[in-house]
Amino acid sequence: MSDYQYPLTEQNIVINVYPVELVNVKRLIVEEEQVGPATEEILRKSANNWSKAMSIGMERELSLALKLAGSERDSHQIIFNNDGLINEFSHLKTVEDIEAFSQKYGLLGVNPPDSEQVNSKSTLVWATLQPYFIYNTYGFSVFEPIDLWFWHINEVRQILKLYDVVRKDSSDDRVDDLIEIKEHSGRFGSLAEDRTTMDRYFVYWTEGELILMLPKDMEERSMLEIGQYTLSKVLASHISGGIHLGVGELIRNPSTKGFKVSERRYTPYLLAAIYYDLWQKINDDKNIFICGNKSCGLPFIKSRRKKYCSDACKQEAYRERKRKGSDTL
């Protein structure tokens, strides 16, 4: 296993992390970067393709980004444990929070859109330049827009909220607050010769982002069942292609003279480690709570008797109680 892999089945493993820094894209001069000729070319291409993709697909200007700030010799060591990573990631609120997190753990590991895609003149290709397509491709990265980070932070929060609702066997109304069904007419099918024009139903976050196309056998199910299906599929899609299975220890059985090989899971992508931690928390049937700080209100996975998602929220809520107490005097 490379030093640059994030271990998922061991605890407190020392790994190396490349240095990262926040940049204003307009002031970025690639030629002045000390990352080596090969990485310099990847950086130039990444910045260019992300800029084109966002301006065409989302009509947004690329302004702030995180980028690789050095070579392997500049890397730093951390003790990595993915347990609890999901809480830390989902509560990043500001650009400064994201910058600090990335400097500790590294870049997420999302490939930039390819040149053929962003330089195409086809409106059908341009339609794929949306977050749910271009923000979900794992790969070695040296440059990532801040928008990409905020999108995944929000995605994780939405998944946590959906898990909380469907885990408690809630009413359809509560599920409706998080996801909605929209009907589209088009040509659907795995093979071109099998495609006919038909109506199909798609699941969206109520905030507007597409999640998935609903299978035919799910169309008549309750919203609770659709919510449970959506939760499992959206998590699986975020983990797919990101988790690798390796060989751990050889365990011998002296009595039978047999042996077995333990599994070792790892990932080269920080983002996959984050979603894998979320996957584990859900499989462990962890409780979701809403932060007791009213100005926060974010979901978090509770440990012990915590009422707040962070010490900062705990202190803010305490100050608010004191302020209200003094106002009533």
- DSSP string of 63-78? -EEEEE-S-GGG-EEE
Predicted pLDDT of residue 309: 76
Q: Give how far Cα 260 sits from Cα of 7, 94, 251, 263, 266, Å.
A: 21, 47, 5, 10, 19
Predicted pLDDT of residue 254: 83
CA 126 – CA 58 distance, rounded (Å): 10
CA 157 – CA 92 distance, rounded (Å): 11
**Would you list the domain boundaries of the chain?**
6-248+265-286, 292-329
Its sign, for the CA torsion 67, 159, 79, 268, is negative
197: amino acid identity, one letter: T
Predicted pLDDT of residue 169: 72
- CB neighbourhood size of 273 (10 A): 27
Query: Cα 147 vs. chain centroid, distance in angstroms?
Result: 12
CA 25 – CA 318 distance, rounded (Å): 39
Q: Give how far Cα 251 sits from Cα of 10, 245, 266, Å.
A: 16, 17, 20
Find where tokens 């440990």 sit.
303
Predicted pLDDT of residue 251: 82
Q: Per-residue pLDDT tens, the chain, 329 aa: give them.
A: 344 689 997 778 999 999 999 999 999 888 777 777 788 889 999 999 999 999 999 999 999 999 998 877 888 999 999 988 999 999 999 999 999 999 999 999 999 999 999 999 998 898 889 999 999 999 999 999 999 999 999 999 999 999 989 987 777 788 999 999 999 887 666 555 555 677 899 999 998 899 999 999 999 999 999 999 999 999 999 999 999 988 777 788 888 878 777 778 899 999 999 999 999 998 888 888 878 787 887 888 866 667 887 778 888 887 877 777 665 55
H helices present in the chain, as ranges? 37-57, 85-90, 95-105, 115-118, 123-126, 131-134, 146-167, 172-176, 223-239, 270-283, 311-327
Q: Is 295 helix (H, G, I), strand (E, B) or coil?
A: coil
Predicted pLDDT of residue 2: 41
- CB neighbourhood size of 107 (10 A): 22
- Sheet with 64-68: list strands edge to edge: 20-24, 64-68, 143-145
Predicted pLDDT of residue 328: 56
Residues 6+ apart with CB under 8 A from 96: none
For 115-138, b where at least 16 C-beta lie within 10 A, e where not — what string? eebbeeeeeeeeeebebbebbbeb
Structure tokens at 99: 């910058």
User: What value, to the nearest 5°, has the Cα angle with vertex 23 and ends 20 and 26?
Assistant: 150
